[in-house]
Amino acid sequence: MSLLRVGVMRLLVAVVLVLVMQVSAHADASWTTPFPPFRIAGNLYYVGSADLGSYLIVTPKGDILINSSFEQNVPLIQKSIETLGFHFNDVKILLISHAHNDHCAGAAMVKKLTGAKYFVMDGDVPVVESGGKADFDYGAKRENWYPPAHVDRVLHDGDTVSLGGTVLTAHKTAGHTKGTTTWTMDVPGVAEADAGRPLHVVIVGSPNVNPGYKLVDNKAYPQIAADYAEGFRVLKALPCDIFLGAHGQYFDLKEKYARWKAGDHNAFIAPEDYKGYIAERRQAFEAELKRQTATAHSIR
């Protein structure tokens, strides 16, 4: 066996090990399990896995992709886009929900394959450009790192992203990360009864307090509790018809897709589900903050 061939094989093994480490850190098979791509409404399509939400917005001037997920999810996303009859290299803009590897580790690969420009909320820019190392919590563990990607446009709360007549608004709902972003856009109504009425789409970034997060006396992220509280204020105020999110479990992807496939193309119109989800997540945050505050006071 030639030295060149040995070197190539070693490189392939190293790449596979890196990809396995990324997923095994979380050990959730649904994150890399393929899921049927489908049209949600208007020019908005689902192209993610069974739980990692990726979304394609198709326009006459090119397409927008939200969330690249893991590197090994990129071929899955590409196949989903092409199954729908579109072209992967038509992706002109790449966005994310937040800078954890399960939502953005594939960004550098997407940029390389498509030439897309990467737009990221200000608080997450140092994280994605460091490959996860600058994350206030996850950056301490090597298994959470990923290929760094250059940010082409820094977003701020309330900024809009426009392409081919479609406009998305970036809402900073920080806490989960310093730049967690909830995306909103309008699409035409799905059913005849909704014809001509714009439907408000909300793609939730993440309102979750992950295990191990310090909400009190967090030296790496002093304003974390205040950011969560502000994020919930923003989320509660958003008008929502179509409820989506960074993870399918947020909005019951599998159950609603089954209804959609059976002919209910209004399955994802769920304003009450959205209100209930935000309220439940806010209660969970407030309970954890109360618990950590009490613990901190007892120690002092």
User: What number does CATH give the domain 29-299?
Assistant: 3.60.15.10
Task: Report the alpha-carbon distance of residue 136 to residue 271 in Å, rounded.
Answer: 33
Predicted confidence at residue 188, as pLDDT, reads: 87
DSSP 210: -
Residue 297 pLDDT > 90, yes or no? no
Task: Report the alpha-carbon distance of residue 192 to residue 179 in Å, rounded.
Answer: 38
- For residue range 101-150, list pLDDT tens digits in order: 999 999 999 999 999 999 999 999 999 999 999 999 999 999 999 999 99
> Minimum mean pLDDT among 26-40, 62-76, 79-93, 184-198: which range?
184-198
What mean pLDDT do residues 262-272 have? 95
Facing residues of 166 across strands? 163
The structure's pTM equals 0.89
With cut-offs at 50, 70 and 90, classify the pLDDT of residue 274.
very high
- For residue range 13-32, list pLDDT tens digits in order: 344 344 444 444 444 899 99
End-to-end CA distance of the chain: 65
CB-side exposure of 268: number of CA atoms within 13 Å?
30
Residue 74 pLDDT > 50, yes or no? yes
